[in-house]
Amino acid sequence: MSDITPHPLPDALGHFGTYGGMFVPETLMAALKELTLEYERAKQDPAFTSELDALLREYVGRPTPLTFAQRWSEKLGGARIYLKREDLLHTGAHKINNAMGQILLAKRLGKDRIIAETGAGQHGVATATVCARFGFKCVIYMGEVDMERQALNVARMRFLGADVRAVTAGQRTLKEAVNEAMRDWVTNVSTTHYILGSALGSHPYPMMVRDFHRVIGEEARSQILEREGRLPDYLVACVGGGSNAIGLFHPFLEDKSVKMLGVEAGGRGIRRGEHAARFEGGKLGVLQGTKTWLLANDDGQIELTHSVSAGLDYAAVGPEHAYLKDIGRTEYTYATDAEALDAFQEVSLTEGIIPALETAHGLAGVRKLAPELGQEGIIICNFSGRGDKDVAQAAKAIFGEDVFG
């Protein structure tokens, strides 16, 4: 954690304006307060920050490069596009920045058991990895549907010693996995730390997860200044819960000339149950610990969601994004499954880098934005993860065949 700059938000109870907060069962309040306190202590403690810095460098693979996408920029005929290469991190996505920070906190808290939820499996893999590295017991909750579409990551977690538990309730995806993890935590809170995987949930998670990912934006900021001698015009990132996006955006918030675009999952189109674009079809509500924009019907019932990418397929968005949108600091759009798949192919073919399907949503946003900005423009897109986990699904969608039987 090279530089955790104090930022006015959230307040002491986790509010970003009207968003955020701590909407949890009474039994978890003590644990969340203990976690907040210990986190505040840890980030002031040079022993903690230097241990984390060393691990990020020597184990996780930081700093990641900022790659100029030359052929893709030329093809689009507009802005110069740079890719912040979180796909090159150990385990293949940005998730491990946060998992590493939190496992060091769990150690400080004297816990010996870790639980986590996972959708695409990337957060589960990152968590199982740091548990193996530090010798923690590890239980991962994952929806049964996600276990099928992300079988590769299930196997990886098991190699790493994690107990992967199938969640069979409801839609059998991420939301239900979070419910199970919360239930486990209530029961085992004295021995167990919950490594939440995005900038979501009750305070202190949205703040803490953001802070552990700020390193993305800090590096990108100094890399672009060195490379171009000026700040970028736009930052672009896909938004599931919003952790990779807020990690890139946050260190640029005070740079008024830098615009920021988050790209949500438009699925099969903005129709009820067919997408996960919370800022398109959503409303204000409370889900799994936090008040934010979410997809719900008129009775407040959470809607079904759909996205080709499991990692963006969630009904709520991180509360800080809701706040930043309200104050006009960030903008949001969406990419459909088809647009994401087009971007997936185009970037693979022009740059030789196969993105995760989540990342491909951000790239789809860049594809529209770059020509509009013109050739003087500079865009940094967060390349949140690599496409290995999505090979079977993308092959089916693109070649129309089941290449793995």
Would you tell me which residues interact with ligand PLP (CB under 6 A)?
Answer: 93, 95, 120, 122-123, 198, 238-245, 311-312, 356, 358-359, 384-385
How far separated are the first and last CA of the chain, in Å rounded?
A: 44
243 versus 292: smaller Cβ distance to ligand PLP: 243
User: How many Cα atoms within 13 Å fall on the side-chain side of residue 261?
Assistant: 22
78 versus 262: smaller Cβ distance to ligand PLP: 262
73 versus 127: smaller Cβ distance to ligand PLP: 127
The two three-digit tokens of residue 192, written as one number: 């167990």
Cβ within 8 Å of residue 113, ≥6 positions away: 136, 137, 138, 139, 188, 191, 192, 193
CA dist., res. 180 & res. 225, Å (int): 44
Shortest reach from residue 240's CB to ligand PLP, in Å: 3
CA dist., res. 248 & res. 225, Å (int): 15
150 versus 171: smaller Cβ distance to ligand PLP: 150
Beta strands in 253-397 (DSSP E): 259-267, 283-287, 289-294, 331-336, 378-383
Q: Can you tell me whether residue 382 is helix, strand or coil?
A: strand
Report the residue number whose CB is nearest to ligand PLP.
385
22 versus 245: smaller Cβ distance to ligand PLP: 245
Shortest reach from residue 328's CB to ligand PLP, in Å: 21
Shortest reach from residue 310's CB to ligand PLP, in Å: 8
240 versus 251: smaller Cβ distance to ligand PLP: 240
DSSP string, 134-175: HT-EEEEEEEHHHHHHTHHHHHHHHHTT-EEEEE-STTSSHH
The pairing of strands 19-23 and 289-294 is antiparallel
Q: Residue 248 in contact with residue 235, Cβ under 8 Å?
A: yes
Shortest reach from residue 90's CB to ligand PLP, in Å: 13
Active site (catalytic) residues: 95, 117, 384
Shortest reach from residue 7's CB to ligand PLP, in Å: 19
Shortest reach from residue 189's CB to ligand PLP, in Å: 24
Angle (nearest 5°) at CA 225 between 219 and 231: 100
Place of tokens 């930022």: 7
CA dist., res. 160 & res. 129, Å (int): 6
Beta strands in 198-244 (DSSP E): 234-238
80 versus 386: smaller Cβ distance to ligand PLP: 386
Structure letter (DSSP) for residue 59: I
The pairing of strands 289-294 and 80-85 is unpaired
Shortest reach from residue 209's CB to ligand PLP, in Å: 8
